[in-house]
Amino acid sequence: MIFDTTFETEAQIEIRTLARKFAQERIRPIVEHDEETGTFRRDIIRELGNLGLTGIPVSEALGGAGLGYQEYIGAIEEIAAESGAYAVSVAVTGLPQVILEKQGNEAQKQKYIPKLASGEGIGSFVLSEAGSGSDAASLRTTAVRDGNHYVLNGTKLWITQADEADVFIAMARTGGPGAKGVSAFILEKGMSGILMGKREKKMGMNISHTMEVLLENVRVPVENRIAEEGDGMKVAFAALDSGRITIAATALGIARSAIECASRHANLREQFGKPILEFQGVGFMLADMLNEYHSAKLVVQKAAFLKDQGLPFSIQAAQAKVLATDMAMKVTTDAVQILGGSGYTREFPVERLMREAKMLQIVEGTNQIQRLVISRALKQD
């Protein structure tokens, strides 16, 4: 197989196979319709949960599969091969689980993680604002202590699946300027004052809704604060490191799907009496696409391995995110080119895959910010 699983364990292959079967049978038939109409099917997440695929890296005691990110990225890649949007939905629902298992107290873990791990609940990560994207620590949403509650006020932008979410991890300012003034809170669907603003009209990933979230005098119990006051950015950055690995895995799935479609077309499409794959201009392009996919995959697997081993992985996560998402953008663009005029139409999925890949270069920290993170590791004292 050109997309082999040589370096994967039996457990990893089993998870990947399970996710692939589900994605091909349940997501493939509806993805084009749902992307066109912006339809999010909550039952897809619930069914993935029934298969144990929405809580893979969470301990069994909290309702997860008790596996690791090496298994997780395989499932994410397979879902993304059929729909980048549903892969992102699974990954974002995973962020509150990762945050709470690592940094939440026992009561928070027991209350929130099992529902998310089972797919019955959907999670959201509420960080970005109009003036704080890459500079996340400059956020202006406030959380003012009032007895046994905090009162949150502010506007958040670019929040994935906020309109569907049951559990939100939100960052707000409890102190002075900068990162040390930010704290993290658990918000729940139905809390008074959590309002949905506009839904963004995007070029892709339309199944996964991106929302403006208005927080108007939202009263959050003190017990819903994660860790201590001032720990919010530590919570956020730890989550983003993990999220970059799943975004990279999403990019792998999108790229692989594009390669499969382009190579299939190149074998079937004939010009001048032979398949266009036999023309060096096309054949070499496909060879480079495959090479770049496998190169990026190894880096993503390394980042997941380091995380599973409890070793530092921030730099490797940044590298995985940059290499995989840049690769996906190039591979999908080349796939459109190989299909020619057909590639620019919606008769084939490659134009959708190209639009999905573009988003991945932006979310979870732009690739320019990732390069900044990586370059700082090279700084000599």
SS3 per-residue string spanning 260-309: HHHHHHHHHCEECCEEHHHCHHHHHHHHHHHHHHHHHHHHHHHHHHHHHC
Taking domain 10-122, whether its CATH number is 3.40.109.10 is answered by no
- pLDDT for 137: 84
**d(C-alpha 122, C-alpha 90), whole Å:** 8
Catalytic residue from among 71, 82, 292, 364 = 364
> What sign does the dihedral 340-325-373-129 (CA atoms) show?
positive
Q: What DSSP element (H or E) covers 126? A: strand 123-126
The fold for domain 124-230 equals Butyryl-CoA Dehydrogenase, subunit A; domain 2 (2.40.110)
Report angle CA 186, 321, 139 to the nearest 5 degrees. 40
Does residue 5 register a pLDDT over 80? no
> pLDDT for 100-125, tens place per residue?
999 999 999 999 999 999 999 999 99
Core vs surface per residue 317-337: b (16+ CB within 10 A) or e? bbbbbbbbbbbbbbbbbbbbe
Q: Are residues 256 and 349 in contact, defined by beta-carbon separation less than 8 angstroms?
A: no
Whether 379 shows a pLDDT value over 90: the answer reads no
Give the model confidence (pLDDT) of 268-287 as tens digits.
998 999 999 999 999 999 99
pLDDT at position 78, please? 98
The total of other beta-carbon atoms located within 10 Å of residue 377's CB is 10
Residues forming CATH 1.20.140.10 domain(s) in the chain: 234-376
Q: What is the pLDDT of residues 128-178, one digit of tens each?
A: 999 887 888 889 999 999 999 999 999 999 999 999 999 999 999 999 988
For the ranges 78-92, 129-143, 328-342, the lowest mean pLDDT is seen at 129-143
368 pLDDT tier (thresholds 50, 70, 90): very high
**Cα Dmax for the chain:** 79
Helix (H, G, I), strand (E, B), or coil: what is residue 119? coil
pLDDT of 303 strictly over 60 = yes
Which segment of 69-73, 134-138, 322-326, 365-369 scores lowest on mean pLDDT? 134-138
| Parts of the chain belonging to CATH 1.10.540.10 | 10-122
Within 10 angstroms of residue 3's Cβ, the number of other Cβ atoms is: 14
Question: Which part of the chain has CATH 2.40.110.10?
Answer: 124-230
Span 230-244, pLDDT tens digits = 999 999 888 889 999
Q: Percent of the chain, pLDDT > 70? A: 99
**% of the chain residues with pLDDT over 90:** 91
Instruction: Specify whether 71 is catalytic.
Output: no
Judged against a pLDDT cut of 80, whether residue 184 lies above it is answered with yes
Per-residue pLDDT at 317 exceeds 80? yes
For residue 199, is pLDDT > 70? yes
Taking Cα atoms as reference points, which of 80, 97, 14 lies closest to residue 51? 14
Residue 6 — pLDDT band, cuts 50, 70, 90? low
CATH 1.20.140.10 fits 234-376, yes or no: yes
Q: What is the pTM of this model?
A: 0.95
